[in-house]
Amino acid sequence: MGTLGLDLERGLFLGIDFGTTNCVVSIYDFKNGQAHTIPIDGSNIFPTAIQFETDPEDENKLSRIFGVQAKEAAIIYPQSTILSIKRWLGSEEQIEINVDDKKYKFSPEQAAGEILGYLKKKADEYVQEELNISGEFSGCVITVPANSTDKQKKMTKDAAVIAGFDEDSVYLRLEPAAAAISYAVNERKDKKVLVYDFGGGTFDACILEIKMDENDEPNISILSTYGDNNLGGNDIDKIVTDMIYEEFKKLTNDEIDLYDDSVDDGVSKRQKKVSLVRLSQIANQTKERLSQSKSARIVLAPFIQEPKIVNINMEVTREDLLNHKRVNKLDDSDEVFNKFKDKTIPDMIDITLDCIDKSLEKAGLKTEDIDEIFLVGGSSSVPAVSEKIKEKFNKEPFKSKISPALSISQGAAYYCNMIMMPTVKGPTVQEKTIHPLGLEIAGRRFMEIVKSGIDIPKTGLTIEADEPLITNFDGITSMAIVVYENTEPKSSDGVEFVNGSGMKRLAGTSLRGIPAGPKGQEKVKVIFNIGQDNMLKVTAKSMSTDGVVTELSVDELY
């Protein structure tokens, strides 16, 4: 087999947009110098879904169904299907499924790894059979939301390793930066660009500066980012779900609670689960239809069959949807519901505009300084988004030559090209730190070591704390090293505490072997390193006066 004339010293790399709702995978086509999206099971957009069944040849094993088939199977087998796995990444909570009355548990990275492994397998088959390229994908570039915590990044990388990618060849890159590459390679002009990334589960506002070099290649610098990891198209779907559920409550005189399995209202647990999956899927379909037309009919006949048959048949207009205020908790936590209670879709879009304002403030820019607005992510196709953006910036968003749903993955494919062929000319991206990083010190105070907005060199970023830690009591031989990420830094220079809003605990361990001495005599130097893989490593060293040095590297942060 041929390899398109490519020297594959590092193997093939796959660009992956691993989304909450859907995934897209792309490669760099070296024949025409462009990114190419690979269809998985016949489609460029692959639902992030996995369904488990008992293996017909061994009842003690599980078989898997992925993508569209899994999403459709969720209607019949909701208890054995995992959807929106990306929202679990960053959580230690196990995901429980039930297959033929047997319970199984998966960690979030295991479930995500199953899906990534399927994408890898199908991509391997495609390039071998359709493009006549030898070998398989040993490495990948996976995009992550700009506002991701370090823990979410770590679990994403772990999932890629579980999927079969080489650990040293897994790279994480920011979604808005990948989208910016897709934009820049087509435009090739000096501009300041706002990437408005509204995906299925997250939102990011990222401001970038694009400058063309002497070879007419774009150099992209990230000026600022600000986002919301708990706002996405899924939450807009919940507005549609809420509308339909209100109709259901009217038809049943509010006597049935589909979201409470413990209530004896005549509906079995299985019937409730099946109904809720159907409700979720019809809500998503209705949202998509209302993005293209001004009205849509919702038919669920029958919706439930016990204790009586209930049919739902309702007409919903785009105006109805925009004006509807959410009133039901549905399956959300108290925290999420309180965030969206009584909110409309325009209210949600206003939250994204607030993120834009904060991103502009961090970059020291005004709306008139932005030359172009690039909309990416499936949720940006909601017409009200374009209308609000036009109103705020007094200009139309950029009309992309590629689908907003494909742009991030194709940008990731350009990153793959940079990794496989580092000497070849092409777009470059100057990565920056997103959130401040630091340690917990006495009084539960936060000592910032790495500031946000610092350029990350290709060789990695290494920063030593301005001041060493000191022992607080006589005779201490160990010291707690607790790493935090400040996802909501305050604008003032006042003292911040690790139990404050936005503080995320990343790691906790002890530095042992410090020579015993009086209070304040022994000091500990702390060094933070952010590598090319966008991962964090923390090193703590005692600075003993008698020559004894103890070193601790926090490689496994979680």
pLDDT one-digit tens code per residue, 440-486: 998 899 999 999 888 888 788 999 999 899 888 898 888 888 999 88
pLDDT at 542: 84
pLDDT of 547 reads: 53
Using DSSP bridges, classify how beta strands 102-106 and 218-228 pair: parallel, antiparallel or unpaired.
Answer: unpaired
Beta strands at 218-228 and 428-430: parallel, antiparallel or unpaired:
parallel
Condensed to tens digits (0 to 9), the pLDDT of residues 181-190 reads 888 887 778 9
Q: How confident is the model at residue 558 (pLDDT cuts 50, 70, 90)?
A: very low
Task: Find, among 295, 291, 287, 292, the residue nearest to 317 by Cα.
Answer: 295
Distance of alpha carbon 66 from alpha carbon 115, whole angstroms: 7
21-70: pLDDT as tens digits:
899 999 988 777 788 899 999 999 999 999 999 998 888 899 999 999 99
* 507 beta partners: 483
Q: How far apart are CA 167 and CA 160, in angstroms?
A: 8
4 pLDDT band (50/70/90 cuts)?
very low
Neighbouring C-beta atoms of residue 96, cutoff 10 Å: 11
Number of Cβ within 10 Å of residue 457's Cβ equals 12
In this structure, the dihedral spanned by the alpha carbons of residues 5, 7, 8 and 10, taken in order and rounded to 10 degrees, is -160
**What does DSSP assign to residue 438?**
E
Domains contained in the chain, CATH given: 437-554 (2.60.34.10)
pLDDT above 60: residue 149: yes
One-letter amino acid identity for 519? Answer: K
Report d(CA 510, CA 524) in Å as an integer: 12
User: Would the pLDDT of 7 be above 50?
Assistant: no
**pLDDT tens-digit map of 505-515:** 887 878 888 88
The one-letter amino acid code at 12 reads L
**Contacting residues for 558 by C-beta, under 8 A, at least 6 apart:** 151, 154, 155, 506, 507
pLDDT of residue 480: 86
Say whether pLDDT at 340 is over 90.
yes
SS3 44: coil
* DSSP string for 279-343: HHHHHHHHHHHHHHSSEEEEEEEEEE-SSS-EEEEEEEEHHHHHHPPP---TT--HHHHHHHTT-
Q: How far apart are alpha carbons 55 and 463 in whole angstroms? A: 51
Q: Decide: 13 and 416 in contact? Cβ < 8 Å.
A: yes
- pLDDT value at position 2? 35
**Band of residue 399 on the pLDDT scale cut at 50, 70, 90:** confident
- How confident is the model at residue 493, as a pLDDT? 67
Pairwise CA distance, residues 362 & 431, whole Å: 16
What is the token pair recorded at 361?
């403030």
